[in-house]
Structure 1
Amino acid sequence: MTESQTIGGQAAARRLSMGATMPPAEVPGVRLQRFLGSGAFGQVWVGRDINTGRGVAVKFYLHRGGVNWSLLSREVKNLVQLSADRHVVQVLEVGWDADPPYYVMELIEGGSLEDMLVRRGRLPVAEATELFRKILIGLNHCHGKGVLHCDIKPANILLAADNEPRLADFGQSRMSHDQTPAMGTLFYMAPEQADLQSSPDARWDVYAAGAILFRMLAGNAPHRDQALLSQLDTAGSLPGRLARYREAIASAPPAAEQLPRRDVDRSLRKVLQRCLEVEPENRYSNVQQILDDLHRRDKMRARRPLMLLGIFGPLLLLLATCFFGARSIDLATRTATRELRTEAFGSNQFAARLAAQTLETEIQRYFDLVHEEAQREPFENLLADLIEGETSKPVLERIAASETPLDALQRKDALAARDVLLEHPAQLSLDAYLSERLLQYRQPSEPGRQRQRLATMFVTDRNGTIMTIVYGKAVPREQNSVGRNFAYRTYFTGRRDDLLSTIPMDSVKPLRHTHLSSAFQSTATKMWKVAISTPLWLVDGEVVISGRRETPDRDPDAVFVATINLGDFQLLQRNESGDDASDDNPSQVAVLVEAREGAKRGTVLQHPLMDQLREGGQAMADTTFQVDGPTMDRLLEGGDVDYRDPMAKASDANGFGGEWIAAMQPVTLPQQVAVAAKETAEGAESDSEVGIAVRETANPNALVGEPEGEHTDLLVLVQYRLSEVLGPVDELRRSLLFEGAFSVASILVMTLLLWWVVRRVTTQDERRAAREAQTPTEPPERIDTMTLN
């Protein structure tokens, strides 16, 4: 049985059966090689010129009866007339008298633009624009010869091997003076061309060229969609279809706005839109205007890198200048900050050492004051009367008979003895004398003269019982400490910390040298204070004190004690600039800090803000402020620390917030006192009855690199406001930044002004060129129609 063919195979067989096997006639000088195709009028054969070897195409007109010989002669005549242009298919020979008639043209083997678009779809913008330009050149040549193509479409544009387009199929072409209508192809035909009464116009080819550009960019012809095709198919007659086509194009949105591509630049879109304008008056008048706009587009695009360089070059240079300028300013600022900070830190360290020495000098003056008060003759006589008096001595012995200091505060006979002592004439006499002396130290100082200030003065017997005490202001009887035993206190023992109040009284020995106690907080005022105590011996009715003459080899008969509020030290009453310490925003202040190891280490003992808050009626009894341990260690090591004042947390907006430069220095005892204290410590070290650790000579709070000595439990911290140090640098930085910003702004304004001037001049040149391009030109020379023999 015969094998059945597919539908595609049957169609291919039909085409092969329809193909001619022999050419209709011989063509002189041409060897016909193969059949290319057939149409309504005849066949096309591919051959080769015998003389030149050039490939040619020969078109035979076989069906004379159905041929409009006037149209055919017009096509051939126009092709012959335009054959000099490389963008138009060239006619090489015409055999109009042959049988059948024929003409020979160049062979274009690259196919048509339609074939390429069907194969590739839309083209890249650059390739589409270049093809568009070459098509326009061919059209412009045709129009220059007075020939209007009237049927430009991708199928009528052939592509050579080098992708050069060739205009072909001039069957609908008209001369520029011809008034005969010509039908083009739907969607490539101008709206006004779709009219059987229309007259040929160069703007028809302009519209068709724009439609080809749209097709190359979008992949389909403008306004072509299935809905419109359906309407055209149902329109009936040819006039009806043409009318429907005109209405659809007129009512549709501008074609350029429907172009679904973002890589098409604005100038090319403007060219495309002007080509496809519905109204002929808004369209390009001729092809040359399109070429001029494309040329201006090319110039603008070629100039764009220079324009971008002209705009962004100065801006980049300006940015680089800003970057290096800012970097230089920052480097200079950091260098100046480092130098100023180093200098300020060194100055602050010096100020801390000076403050420590000043405080040491003040302590020495208070030591001298205590010695001087203890050796006044009235004091000696009154003290001897109280200690050795026939009636007062038994009272003191009754209190000393208690087992512990705590027991002395609870035993009835000790309490009764205290009542007697409070009313004893010898105690009252000594009390009156000390009150008078204390008053001298509490009077306001004279202008230009600073007075030493004492908080309290009192005297204990050899067992630690307070024989008399005077206060800065009167206290109730029950709060008076006369008759109470405080043998465990540091001002009596000369030790670093208080002993327990339950320690046996007979195991505690009084100090033998003048002593500065550790800081303690007053139970009444909550102010931090220190006590200076000195042992007293009665020898032949006179008082002998430590360090002034040889002391007896026995326990002291009494201990004289004076207390000083830390805020009363002259150093802590004024800051370094000489302003009052109550200044709301001081730049430099001196602060006292607790040095003893333990939970209280770093506690702020005296600070200008404490006086401010106290004067404002704000109690600070239950609040302590401490410098943290790591900061303390770094300060004692002599490091540069970004210090934050812990007192800044005491209240809002107190003027002590922010960063400070701080330096810390331990306060040492006066030299002769230090030596005596060392001897006391060495003697107490062998005292096994008390059984407690003694104060070491080497102090853990000594600064690294400083010689070891007898230090107090006080540290002087001098802090200087960092913003004051860096103020000149900040001002310089602001000034440099302002000048730099002003310079940058000036350069930027000048750059923009110059760019605006250049842009304005360039725009004016472009507008002038555009006006010149729109100037009407003389119509092309009239060419007579070729007649056929």
Structure 2
Amino acid sequence: MSRLVTGSHDTQIQNDDDRERSRRLSQQGNTPPAEIEGYSIVRCLGTGAYGTVWLAREDHTGRMVAVKFYPHQRGLNWSMLSREVEKLAAVYTSHHIVRLLDVGWNAEPPYFVMEYVENGSLGNFLTRGYLSVDEAVRIVREICNALIDAYGAGVLHCDLKPDNVLLDRQMHARLCDFGQARMSHEHSPALGTLYYMAPEQADLDALPDAKWDVYAVGALFYHLLTGSPPHRSEATQQQLECAETLDERLKVYQKIISSSGVPTSHRKVKGVDGRLADIIDRCLNAVPAERFPNAQGIRDALDRRDRIKSQRPLLILGVLAPILLMGAMIPIFTKAMNDNLQSALDQITDRALESDALSARLQAAALDHELRDRLEELEDILTDRELAETLETALERNSNELVSEVVQHATPPQSIPPRWLQLLDAAWERSKASNKAHGRKLDTSWFLNDRFGTQIWRREFSDLTLGKNFSYRDYFHGRGEDYSRDKIPKDIAPLDKPNVCNAYKSTTTGLQTVALSVPVMNSKGVVIGVLARSVHLGDLQERMGRLIREPDADNVERVIAIVEARDNTHYRLLDHPYLTEDVVHAAEESNKDAKLFETLFIDESTVRAIQAAQVQDRAAEVRLKIYSDPIGRLPDLGSAVYQGEWLAAMAPVSDIGWMVIVQERRQAALSPVEDVAARAKRQTWLSVLTTAIALMAIIWSFVWRAYSRGL
């Protein structure tokens, strides 16, 4: 066995022979090394390098005890047995240290008997998680008490770690394992456990010092709070494992501690205040002179922290009591008035929002009817048997051939077009005639895309789009967004149900446009194409103008707009009284129309209110007591009239992702009641303030006198 220094109290390091003995001891199973008169062995509690610990029952009293055997195998080091017994005997009177009960010096093998502590080691307890701050402080205080008792008997522990702290039935800490302990007058080294050992202790020539235990208390405290001892990481473990000799490993350990500085993870633990963190930092200081002198210093610091904490409620009372008193007085004087005023405000707000909601429902229903008519017209066209069969046959052909036919019959000299082209042109002509008969503006375009997204027919004819692929458009796939041309999903497919797409900038006209599209299916119900009609937003506004700007019957000045719900988090204005045809066309001509519409998103607070109202039903109405009009954020002078707060009601337009907003000035609706409320509140505050000042002076005088006595 290797020795670090010479003398009668050498610190011994486990070598290969020792480890072999430990292995054989662990294989002894449930057979105790010997029977002890007066005790009945129950079971093995643990096995170490130099002995085994067994649970036993004292025959006369039935008390459970722990027996540590030192087998005579491969040269028992009697100095270790005598050293541990010596230290346990010295601290026998301490209630915070496991007590020595009996010693069998002449037994074969020798043993000593000590108290059995029911809940095992703190190390085992920590494998189930770290402790709360209050529990950690309590256990550290008890450990300090144990160390103070040991110091009183002239004993330094020198190997404090979670495994050497036992927890009794009441979960109180009891210090144990004094195998590395030293008397205060001894001058032989004692190596502790890595990550709990003070850096200066990791020296084969070091002399025992109470500040070693101070560092270990800090490391254990840190472990209790964070779940791991300070400085332990995969990197430091690798550094230590790479050391070939004990001396090299100790030097690596010292370098890790000195170069890493005091760790900070404990400061991030909830409930760890600055004073407690400072105590741990001082314990873990790499410079011994900067630490507490001993465990008594740690306990004194914890006691000071407790006293300061106990005085904190008094200080808080001095600050909060006047505030709470004043807060309690205000409701006493104002509750009745506020209840009445709030009731009046709520009634006016509810009546205004009810009227706005009715208008929003009517406008949404009218707009939904208009859009549904357009979609149903497309669906009705596709119910024509001849057209359906002709399109099914045509769409089985190569798209280039179909495009060529459209181009051929769009320019003179013109021959008789194929039947599929005749039928589509006839349907488009009938729709134009119907629009004219009802005084509605014509659609911007009609077009047909094959199942791959290629446009194979368009009216009016345009070579800018014919033959081009538009599979990235929402009107083709119906997924609620337009993709980038170079980032089209691989699984893109034509839509399988009618759809009102997101607004987009037309390739042909360069204007903001909305398309209504329906799937074209073959006789087996498989989608083989998409038929759509488009309309400029400006034209939609004009077509809806009669609905949007018609005066209300109650003569309330209202603003009615249309918003597009791109998804559940982004809502963009599509139509608004500010967005007149002149404004939109002016933006289009300067190529700023896309940028204009991209800025008209409803703010996040309104979006959250919409989400809350529609959490169970996306088709539910939304009523907002405070609404901010996106138009009011524009820098244009004409948009200033839409700034400020509004009352607003929103009604969904069926399931197409649009909502109609009806809004009115909040101030105009509530100003009569708010004027009365303002006058009443001024009078109330004057009376409350006068009374509060007098009472606050009385409270502060009592608090100051009580705090002064506590100091």
Larger Rg: 1
Name the TM-score, length of structure 1 as normaliser.
0.41
Name the TM-score, length of structure 2 as normaliser.
0.45
Q: Relative CO higher for 1 or 2, CA cutoff 8 Å, sep ≥ 6?
A: 1
